[in-house]
């Protein structure tokens, strides 16, 4: 045992130890990526199951149908007559309808400003008070007048009105039911949920005139499609990649898929054969959506308030009609009605790869953590390395003298010059405020020009910074090591904490910044320097943004406007991560690559 | 020779008993039922329906409300989720409303606790406890104890908050026995791993049965899709089926054995268990008890001068003791004789190991003749003994 210990200690002194970290980092990244690709296999993913005993999905007969079909047609007629009218006129009509049903109705104005645009409208909602309940809890049924793709949600609104009338006839509700009709899919629900929880900015959003109990769940109907449908698409991504409790999705899958016998899809996978490629595609789509953190429907705004919500979209051509959709909602509401407390039993952190297959956080988190850890490993290695004298040949020779000599003849640690590296990293971090402010406050028309100018400056910035550094400060190799060390340390820290909040975003950013681990100054080799610079420019935030916009056939203006809107209205923090975590790390890395350390400077200082 | 002097006692006792003892038979004189559901919440509707259906059955067979202790931790009839307000059904056909208009819940809501349950059984209750909430049984009462809820290995959960262990239950029954609070008990339990709950019982005269073995779940029988929940458990369902079809009224001669034989894995989907070993007379005696001995109200009136069960039992017990004491005295004498020859070490070991042999209990046939034989023999002995002592006295 002591022999082993001394062996380990000697290994610690071994200079070869310092050559290990880059390989270790590389291994971390590789394992992290391979890990992710293993997840869709049967051995690593699990079948979904209902954890909450109270839900009992699909155990009730649903009676929505029959004469309700005629009611639906009548309401559809009313809705059709409102098409093209103003928001207030629509709400006037809808209010008279819900009041006619004997429900209490309320209206709420909101006006958001983002990227020089005004998003305003008026929400209308009605509360069905539980006949025998105690009004301490409520569930919400949402239909936006326009869905996320700005299509008219005619059937959705008509269905909500029909269901309001139908639900009013039942006496078995233990919770109040709130019917909410919003003019759009993002801002309206956001304003309403904010105001419901008194978390709204009263300058932009009016308070609600009427409230009920604590929200336990919400279902949004996005039914713009005309005619019969085949399956239901469950949209579940919330703002900032937050997800509703898995039990809610499982309940809908069990009711729609099991009880009603219709297909269920997630992540726009219209056909899913439950094989590895489809599972992987579903998972990656989910991760991408989660990583972007955008609101994907009226349900998204509810999730940050811990109100589990999903949007249901009918799709495909089949024989299911509006009544079938209504029955799915009825079944889900009966399940939610059974709840005794908030959904809490099942998972909040998961990746779905098929409607009945998932991996939980314990299984997938190591993947992003490993990627984040690679930065920390490298940062520590660089810190150690920066404390050792240059020229590694000496200790190797000494080791040949005999055992134990390594300890006695070890060169003393070199003093680290911290001011410059810390200064550079701090400046990089603070510079991040500029793009962040710029893209969140520039008016719509200025976004594209601003981005173009920024992209150009961004390419030139490392060069100019590097030039400034070398002319005024002539940093040593040690200082470059320290710049990189501090920058990577910050990156590793940010990403590992982010991984617990938004796994996908942390993983994506980690992957795109992984080249930074291996960047170092190339004073002797201009070819390597150029190659590294080109590589870094290819994975710069601006280049990735352009590439992504190109890949999805979006113009950069839309992307930036949506991002600004999401930041202003929904509080999406992806821009913060991009500009204040990713971009500074990238900048520091680029400066390091372009650095020309003065050889021998460290030695002079230490002697 | 202290023991030999003890031997004089039984003869005296026997003589006294014979003069006073009226000859009687063992029977109970009252029937009680303790029906407990231990779980609350809407999705446990079936547990309350289980208990209410047993409640209905025992009432149907004549046990009055005053002798039924009903413990319901939740009110399903008034739950806002109930599509049929004011009712509880244990079958999807909804033919019988178990809540009806004549139901007396003795312990409700948060009163249903382990403490209250044990206090009820052992009658350790305060002055203020109303009689309707007490189990006013005596040593002539047959009790049906029915429990249902969520359980596990040797425990049964009470209301998501606490649990009763198999040992707690066993100790409670033992206290009841010691306090002469029951004559016989039929303990039924319908929960997961139910059979473990009665595994620790050690008090006499208990027949126990449960719905499932260790590591087995008990299942619900069916759900009512309009109520939206499962309405009854399998074990209870098939017990009820037997009781409804075979035990139509109190004159039914179906035995507990018949009831237990009706259980099968195919029906219940778990292995229902039965425990007879605590019962005096074992399986045979236990199985021959009528179902109505526990589920029905049998009113045996005790009239002075007719057969007295307890006295007869006491006599039996006494004859056993006499035989045992005689045996012991003989042994001791033999051992003492031995003692003179054998060394001290070998003496004690066989003494301790030797089991006391009990006399064969008397049986019913030829009871009178045997008694007379015995009495004359004893009287003769007594006379001889008196004569002997009379004759011996003057010699000294």
List, for residues B228-239, the tens digit of each pLDDT value. Answer: 899 999 999 999
The pLDDT assigned to B34 comes to: 95
Work out the percent of chain B whose per-residue pLDDT is above 70.
83
Q: Is B41 on the interface with A (CB under 8 A)?
A: yes
> Does the pLDDT value for residue A577 go beyond 70?
yes
Alpha helices in chain B (DSSP H): 2-6, 8-20, 45-60, 114-122, 166-178, 234-246, 256-261, 265-268, 282-288, 292-295, 309-341, 344-353, 367-395
pLDDT for residue B297: 85
Contacts of A128 (CB under 8 A, 6+ apart): A103, A164, A167, A168, A173, A176, A177, A178, A179
pLDDT for A398: 43
Give the per-residue pLDDT at B300.
Answer: 67
For A317, phi and psi rounded to 5 degrees?
-105, 120
pLDDT of B17 > 60? The answer is no
State whether B41 and A54 contact (CB < 8 Å): yes
- Please report residues of A whose CB lies closer than 8 A to that of B226: 60-61
Least Cα distance to B11 among B328, B394, B289, B383 occurs for: B383
The answer to whether A216 faces chain B, any CB pair under 8 Å, is no
CATH number, domain A68-355, options 3.30.200.20, 3.40.630.10, 2.60.40.2300, 1.20.120.450: 3.40.630.10
Q: Tell me if A221 sits within 8 A of A141, measured CB to CB.
A: yes
pLDDT at A140 over 60: yes
Report the alpha-carbon angle B236-B241-B242, nearest 5.
Answer: 100
pLDDT digits (tens, 9 = 90+) for A516-531: 999 888 888 889 989 9
Helices (H), A244-321: 246-252, 276-292
Is residue B36 within 8 A of residue B188, CB to CB? The reply is no
pLDDT at B335: 85
Instruction: Give contacts of B 83-112 with A, CB under 8 A.
Output: 83, 85
Domains recognised in chain B with CATH numbers: 2-24+307-395 (no CATH), 30-295 (3.40.50.1460)
Q: Which of A359-368, B31-40, B78-87, B310-319 has the lowest mean pLDDT?
A: B310-319
Mean pLDDT, chain B, integer = 84
Strand order in the sheet with A357-360: A46-47, A357-360, A350-354
Q: Which residue of B has its CA nearest to A55?
A: B43
Q: Is the pLDDT of residue A154 over 50?
A: yes
Length of chain B: 396
Q: If you average pLDDT over residues B89-102, what whole number do you get?
A: 88
pLDDT of A582 higher than 90? yes
Which of B43, B44, B159 is the mutation pick for testing A, counting most A CBs within 10 A? Answer: B43
- Tokens representing A206? 């009016």
Which tokens belong to B222? 């069916």
Smallest Cα distance from B193 to chain A, Å = 19
A169 reaches B (C-beta below 8 A): no
State the CB neighbour count (10 A cutoff) for residue B300: 12
Per-residue pLDDT band for B362 (boundaries 50, 70, 90) equals low
Is A340's CB within 8 Å of B42's CB? yes
pLDDT score for A396: 42
Overall average pLDDT of the A10-19 stretch: 74
pLDDT grade for A102, boundaries at 50, 70 and 90:
very high
Please indicate whether, in this complex, the C-beta atoms of A172 and B225 are within 8 angstroms of each other.
no
The confidence score (pLDDT) of residue B9 equals: 52
CA nearest neighbour of A311 among A414, A435, A423, A218: A218
**Residue B364's pLDDT is what?**
64
B80, B192, B223, B226, best to mutate vs chain A, most A CBs in 10 Å: B80
pLDDT surpassing 80 at residue A4: no
Answer yes or no: do B43 and A338 touch at CB < 8 A: yes
Q: Which residues of A touch B225 (CB under 8 A)?
A: 59-61
Element (H, E) at A468: helix A447-472
Q: How far apart are CA A436 and CA A564, in angstroms?
A: 10
- Tell me the shortest Cα–Cα distance from A171 to chain B, in angstroms: 7
* A172: contact with B, CB 8 A cutoff: yes
Nearest beta carbon to residue B42 from set A54, A132, A133 = A54
**Which percentage of chain A shows pLDDT scores above 90?**
73
Contact predicate B227/B83, CB 8 Å: yes
pLDDT for A391 equals 55
Burial of A214 (0-12, 13-18, 19+ CB in 10 A): middle
Which residue among B80, B85, B225 sits closest to A174, beta carbon to beta carbon?
B80
In this predicted structure, what is the pLDDT of residue A404? Answer: 44
**Residues in chain B within 8 Å Cβ distance of A173:** 80-81
Given a cut of 70, whether residue B80 has pLDDT beyond it is yes
How do residues A105-114 score in pLDDT, each as one tens digit? 999 999 999 9
CB contact under 8 A, A174 and B79: yes
Residues A404-424 have a mean pLDDT of 70
**What Å distances lie between residue B215 and B190, B199, B200, CA to CA?**
14, 14, 17
* A133/B80 Cβ within 8 A: yes
B271, pLDDT greater than 80: yes
In this model, does residue B18 exceed pLDDT 50? no
List of E strands, A399-451: none
**Residues of chain B positioned with their CB less than 8 A from the CB of A174:** 42, 79-81
pLDDT > 80? residue B299 = no
- Among the listed residues A328, A332, A242, the one whose alpha carbon sits nearest the alpha carbon of residue A286: A242
Q: Answer for the pair A20, A380: CB distance below 8 angstroms, yes or no.
A: no
- The region of weakest confidence among B118-132, B239-253, B326-340, B362-376 is B362-376
What band does A535 get if pLDDT is binned at 50, 70 and 90?
A: very high
- Least confident range from A40-49, A314-323, A412-421, B378-387: namely A412-421
Q: What is the pLDDT of residue A601?
A: 46
Token code pair at residue B193? 């791993």
The residue among A297, A242, A575, A301 whose CA lies nearest residue A436 is A575
pLDDT value at position B302? 63
Angle between helices A477-501 and A503-513 (to 10 degrees): 160
DSSP-derived letter for residue B204 is: S
Whether residue A131 and residue B80 make contact (CB cut-off 8 A), yes or no, is yes
Judging contacts by C-beta atoms under 8 Å, the chain A residues touching residue B78 are 132
Substitution target in B74, B192, B228 with the highest count of A β-carbons within 10 Å is B228
How far apart CA B396 and CA B391 sit, in angstroms, is 10
Q: Which residues of B touch A177 (CB under 8 A)?
A: none
Task: Tell me the angle at which helices A87-100 and A154-169 cross, rounded to the nearest 10 degrees.
Answer: 20
Report the residue of A171, A255, A327, A336 to disrupt the B interface, i.e. the one with the largest count of B CBs within 10 Å.
A171
Instruction: Give the model's pLDDT for residue B315.
Output: 86
Is the minimum CB–CB distance between A132 and chain B shorter than 8 Å? yes
pLDDT in tens, A450-461: 999 999 999 999
Per-residue b or e along B238-258, where b marks 16 or more CB atoms closer than 10 Å to that residue's CB: bbbebbeeebeebebebbbbb
CA B376 – CA B365 distance, rounded (Å): 19
Chain A nearest CA to B345, separation (Å): 57
Tell me which residues of B are annotated as active site: 150, 192
Domain boundaries, chain A: 2-41+364-606, 68-355
| Interface A:B, Cβ pairs < 8 A | 46
Query: Average pLDDT of A163-189?
Result: 94
Chain B stretch 207-246, residues whose beta carbon is closer than 8 A to a beta carbon of chain A: 223, 225-226, 228-230
**Residue A345 in contact with partner chain B when CB distance is under 8 A:** no
- Contacts with A333 from chain B: Cβ below 8 Å: none
- Beta carbons within 10 angstroms of residue A378's beta carbon: 25
* Cβ atoms of residues B231 and B45 within 8 Å: yes
Contact A61 B225 (CB under 8 A): yes
Mean pLDDT of B259-274: 91
Residues A236, A222: Cα–Cα separation, whole Å: 13
Residue B42 touches chain A, beta carbons under 8 Å: yes
With vertex at residue B353, the alpha carbon angle to CA B350 and CA B356, rounded to the nearest 5 degrees, is 110
Q: Residue A280 corresponds to which tokens in the numbers above?
A: 């992987």
User: Which pair of structure tokens corresponds to residue B252?
Assistant: 């039914």
pLDDT class of B305 with cuts at 50, 70, 90:
low
The answer, for A124 touching chain B at a CB cutoff of 8 Å, is: no
pLDDT at A1 over 70: no
- How many angstroms separate the CA atoms of A300 and A215, rounded? 14
Q: What is the pLDDT of residue B196?
A: 93
Residues 6+ apart with CB under 8 A from A262: A230, A231, A232, A256, A318, A320, A324, A328
Average pLDDT, chain A: 89
CB–CB contact B83 A171 (8 Å): yes
Greatest CA separation found in chain B? 98
pLDDT of residue A392: 47
Residue from A56, A251, A259 whose CB has the most chain B CBs within 10 Å, to mutate: A56
Per-residue pLDDT tens over the stretch A229-283: 999 999 999 999 999 999 999 999 999 998 898 999 999 999 889 999 999 999 9
pTM of the predicted structure, to 2 decimals: 0.82
The pLDDT, as a whole number, for residue A539 is 92
CA angle at A463 for the pair A458 and A464, rounded to the nearest 5°: 90
pLDDT at A123 over 90: yes
- CA dist., res. A499 & res. A376, Å (int): 14
């Amino acid at each position: 045992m002591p022999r082993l210990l001394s062996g380990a200690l000697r290994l610690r002194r071994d200079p070869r130890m310092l050559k290990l970290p880059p390989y270790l980092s590389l291994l971390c990244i590789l394992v992290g990526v391979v890990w992710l690709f293993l997840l869709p296999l049967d051995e690593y993913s699990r079948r979904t199951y209902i954890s909450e005993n109270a839900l009992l999905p699909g155990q009730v007969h649903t009676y929505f149908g029959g004469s309700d079909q005629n009611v639906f047609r009548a309401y559809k007629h009313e809705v059709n007559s409102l098409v093209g009218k103003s928001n207030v006129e629509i709400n006037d009509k809808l209010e008279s309808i819900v009041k006619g049903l004997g429900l209490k109705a309320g209206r709420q104005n909101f006006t958001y400003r983002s990227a020089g645009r005004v998003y305003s409208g008026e929400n209308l909602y009605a509360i069905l008070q539980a006949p025998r309940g105690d009004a301490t809890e409520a569930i919400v049924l949402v239909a936006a007048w326009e869905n996320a793709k700005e299509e008219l949600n005619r059937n959705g609104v008509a269905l909500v009105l029909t269901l309001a009338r139908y639900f009013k006839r039942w006496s078995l509700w233990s919770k109040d039911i709130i019917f909410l009709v919003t003019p759009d899919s993002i801002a309206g629900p956001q304003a309403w949920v904010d105001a419901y929880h008194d978390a709204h900015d009263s300058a932009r959003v009016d308070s609600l005139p009427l409230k009920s109990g604590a929200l336990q769940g919400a279902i949004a109907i996005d039914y713009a499609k005309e005619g019969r449908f085949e399956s239901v698409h469950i949209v579940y991504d919330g703002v900032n990649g937050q997800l509703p409790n898995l039990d809610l999705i499982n309940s809908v899958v069990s009711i729609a898929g099991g009880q009603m016998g219709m297909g269920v899809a997630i992540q726009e996978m219209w056909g899913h054969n439950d094989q590895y490629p489809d599972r992987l595609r579903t998972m990656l789509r989910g991760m991408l959506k989660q990583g972007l953190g955008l609101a994907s429907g009226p349900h998204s705004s509810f999730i940050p308030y811990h109100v589990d919500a999903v949007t249901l979209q009918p799709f495909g051509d089949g024989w299911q009609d509006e009544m079938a959709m209504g029955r799915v909602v009825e079944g889900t509401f009966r399940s939610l009605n059974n709840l005794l407390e908030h959904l809490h039993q099942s998972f909040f952190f998961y990746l779905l790869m098929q409607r009945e297959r998932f991996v939980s956080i314990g299984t997938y988190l190591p993947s992003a953590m490993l990627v984040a850890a690679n930065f920390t490993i490298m940062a520590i290695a660089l810190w150690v390395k920066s404390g050792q004298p240059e020229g590694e040949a000496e200790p190797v020779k000494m080791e040949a003298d005999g055992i134990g000599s390594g300890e006695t003849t070890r060169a003393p640690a070199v003093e680290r010059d911290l001011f410059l590296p810390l200064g550079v990293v701090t400046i990089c971090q603070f510079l991040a405020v500029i793009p962040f402010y710029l893209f969140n406050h520039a008016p719509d028309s200025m976004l594209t020009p601003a981005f173009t100018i920024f992209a150009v400056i961004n390419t030139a910035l490392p060069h100019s910074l590097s030039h400034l550094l070398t002319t005024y400060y002539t940093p040593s190799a040690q200082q470059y090591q320290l710049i990189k060390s501090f920058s990577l340390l910050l990156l590793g820290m940010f990403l590992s904490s982010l991984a617990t909040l938004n796994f996908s975003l942390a993983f994506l950013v980690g992957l795109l910044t992984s080249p930074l681990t291996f960047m170092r100054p190339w004073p002797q080799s201009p070819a390597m320097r150029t190659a590294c610079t080109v590589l870094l420019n290819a994975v710069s935030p601006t280049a990735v943004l352009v590439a992504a916009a190109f890949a999805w056939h979006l113009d950069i203006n839309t992307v930036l406007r949506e991002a600004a809107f999401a930041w202003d209205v929904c509080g999406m923090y992806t821009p913060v991560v991009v500009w204040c975590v990713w971009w500074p790390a990238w900048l520091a890395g680029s400066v390091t690559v372009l650095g020309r350390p003065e050889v021998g400077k460290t030695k002079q200082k230490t002697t | 020779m202290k023991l030999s002097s003890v031997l004089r006692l039984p003869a005296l006792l026997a003589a006294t008993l014979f003069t006073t003892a009226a000859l009687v038979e063992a029977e109970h004189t009252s029937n009680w039922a303790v029906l407990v559901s231990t779980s609350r919440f809407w999705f446990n509707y079936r547990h309350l329906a289980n208990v209410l259906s047993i409640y209905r059955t025992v009432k149907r067979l004549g046990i009055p409300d005053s002798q039924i202790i009903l413990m319901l931790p939740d009110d399903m009839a008034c739950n806002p989720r109930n599509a049929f307000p004011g009712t509880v059904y244990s079958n999807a056909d909804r033919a019988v409303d178990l809540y009806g208009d004549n139901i007396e819940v003795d312990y409700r809501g948060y009163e249903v606790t382990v403490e209250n349950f044990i206090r009820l059984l052992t009658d350790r209750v305060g002055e203020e406890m109303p009689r309707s909430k007490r189990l006013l049984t005596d040593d002539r009462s047959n009790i049906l104890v029915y429990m249902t809820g969520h359980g596990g290995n040797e425990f049964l959960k009470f209301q998501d908050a606490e649990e009763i262990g198999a040992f707690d239950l066993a100790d409670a029954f033992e206290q009841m026995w010691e306090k002469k609070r029951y004559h016989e008990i039929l303990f039924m339990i319908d929960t997961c791993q139910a059979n473990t709950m009665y595994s620790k019982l050690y008090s006499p005269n208990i027949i126990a049965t449960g719905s499932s073995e260790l590591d087995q779940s008990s299942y619900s029988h069916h759900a009512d899709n309009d109520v939206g929940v499962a309405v009854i458990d399998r074990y209870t369902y098939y017990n009820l089926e037997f009781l409804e079809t075979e035990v139509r009224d109190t004159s039914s001669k179906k035995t507990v054995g018949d009831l237990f034989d009706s259980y099968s894995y195919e029906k219940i989907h778990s292995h229902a268990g039965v425990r007879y070993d605590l019962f005096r007379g074992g399986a045979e005696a236990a199985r021959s008890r009528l179902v109505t001995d526990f589920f029905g109200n049998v009113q045996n009136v005790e009239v002075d001068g007719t057969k007295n069960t307890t006295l007869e039992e006491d006599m039996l017990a006494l004859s056993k003791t006499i035989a045992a004491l005689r045996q012991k005295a003989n042994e001791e004498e033999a051992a003492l004789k031995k003692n003179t020859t054998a060394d001290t070490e070998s003496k004690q070991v066989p003494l301790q190991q030797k089991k006391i042999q009990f006399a064969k209990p008397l049986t019913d046939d030829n009871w009178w003749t045997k008694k007379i034989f015995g009495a004359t023999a004893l009287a003769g002995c007594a006379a001889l003994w008196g004569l002997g002592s009379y004759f011996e006295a003057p010699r000294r």
